[in-house]
Structure 1
Amino acid sequence: MARPSRAHERRAGLVAAARRAVVERGMLDLRLRDVAEQADMSPGSVLYYYPTMTDLLREVQREAVDRFCAGREDAVRHEPDPRRRLAAMIRSGLPSGPGDELCVLLYELGTIARRDASYAAEHIRLYERQVGIYAGILGAGAATGAFTLTRDATTIARNLVALEDGFGLHITMAVPTVDTARAERLLLACAADAIGCDLDDLEGDR
């Protein structure tokens, strides 16, 4: 009787190893050897499962995008109040600090999106999926009368995601120029201006 294939398990392990290697070394310094060492495998064995580093890193990026967006969806799924739902969405998009592994991973992978169309496509998917979540929250709030939107929901959503990205980069820099709490306050203030109601009393409300 043939033994069951462990290829799926091996590939999942390599994705996890590559994820750790990207966070530790960064994309600019990353080598095949780094991934192999993290996985406790030879470089040749890594290439057996992923013929190129590009193939492996695309899978790392896809998994990271799905995990990040699923986390954001979970953060707002069971909150019925539109204001608290919007505040929860804002909090779920910011890094917890400079060592936030998932956010650092996404930012590192984003550095090559300007040169590689396939990475860019995945980065666009990340952006659009977040915009969709925000737009749904904003539209629902407007429909119930909780929000009075100053612009259409999609425009506000795109601005909020872009601001999150900017603040996130500052939070995860070697010398952060803003911390998570300050970024959250600034985003809540921006969102309040866009929805026509105050969110100050929701700061720090978990």
Structure 2
Amino acid sequence: MARPNRAPERRAELVEVARRAVIERGVLNLRLRDIADRAGMSSGSVLYYFPTLVDLLHEVQREAVDRFCAAREEAARAQADPRRRLLGVIHSGLPTGPDDELCVLLYELGTIARRDPAYAAQHIALYERQVRIYSGILEAGAAAGTFDLVTDPLTIARNLVTLEDGYGLHVTMAVPSVDAATAEAMIRAYAASATRCALEGNR
């Protein structure tokens, strides 16, 4: 009887080990040996499943992007009212604090995007996917007469995602300069102004 192929399972285990290692050590300080030791494997064995550390971290990034965006898309689907959809998506896009593992992971992996085109492509895909979520909500709200947009939906959507990214970095610092509640209130204020819609009390 042929031996079961455990490669997919082993690859998934290594992605999880690498995810935790990035959160604990930071991506710039991470070595292949760190992941191998945590997985109870030799470095050569890790390379059997992922040819380089970059390949492994690229898979960690892909999984994190999918998980983050899926949660945001679910937040958008959870409400029928455009105002509540908009507020729900704003809330889902911000880290809860310095210990928000998924957001910290995405920020850590984003640092590589300055030097590696593959990581940059994933980072751009993350940005554009979030922009599409917001654009859809804004377009639907405008069509329903709920929103009176001050400019085109794409511009507002891009501004919302960029605000989230900027505030999120501050929220996840070791000593946050802005807390999550304040950041969310700031973004909600911009959204209310950009849609000419009172959003308070609609969460």
Q: Which stretches of structure 1, 4 residues or longer, exceed 6 Å deviation after superposition?
A: none
Percent identity of the aligned residues?
Answer: 69
Does the Cα contact within 8 Å between 2:97 and 2:172 map onto a contact in 1? yes
2:128 maps to which residue? 128
Q: Measure how far apart 1:135 and its partner are.
A: 0.1
SS in 2 for 1:41: coil
Which amino acid in the other structure matches residue 198 of structure 1? A
- Superposition map of 1:93-104 within 5 A: 93-104=93-104
- Match in the other structure for 1:83: 83
Distance in 2 (CA, whole Å) between partners of 1:199 and 1:38 is 47
1:119 partnered with 2:119: yes
Equivalent position amino acid for 1:137 in 2: I
- CA displacement at 1:200 relative to structure 2: 2.2
- 2:144, 2:53 → 1: CA distance? 49
Paired AA for residue 189 in structure 1: A
Q: Report the CA distance between 1:48 and its aligned residue.
A: 1.1
Equivalence for 1:165? 165
- Deviation string, structure 1 residues 53-87 (Cα, Å, up to 9, x no partner): 01101111111111100010011213101000000
Structure 2 Cα separation of the partners of residues 48 and 35 of structure 1: 13
Aligned to 1:192: 192
Aligned equivalents of 2:13 and 2:46: distance in 1?
10
TM-score with structure 1 length normalisation? 0.97
Q: How does 1:19-168 map to 2 (within 5 A)?
A: 19-168=19-168
Q: Which amino acid aligns with 1:186?
A: M
State the secondary structure of the residue aligned to 2:184: helix
Moved more, 73-82 or 163-172: 73-82
- Ranges in structure 1 where 5+ consecutive residues have no aligned partner: none
Which secondary structure state, in structure 2, belongs to the residue aligned with residue 201 of structure 1? coil
**Residue 8 in 1 paired to residue 8 in 2?**
yes
Letter of the structure 2 residue corresponding to residue 191 of structure 1: A
Using the alignment, how far apart are the partners of 2:198 and 2:187 within structure 1? 12
Secondary structure of residue in 2 paired with 1:141 = helix
Contact 2:76 2:133 in 1 (8 A): no
Q: Alignment length, in residue pairs?
A: 203
CA distance in 2, matches of 1:107, 1:116: 15
CA RMSD across the alignment: 0.8
Deviation (angstroms), 1:198: 1.2
Equivalents in 2 of 1:36, 1:178: separation in Å?
A: 37
Gaps of 5+ in 2: none
- Counterpart of 2:115, as a letter, is R
Task: Tell me the alpha carbon deviations over residues 23-55 of structure 1, each in whole angstroms, 9 at most, x when there is no partner.
Answer: 000011101111112222221211111110011
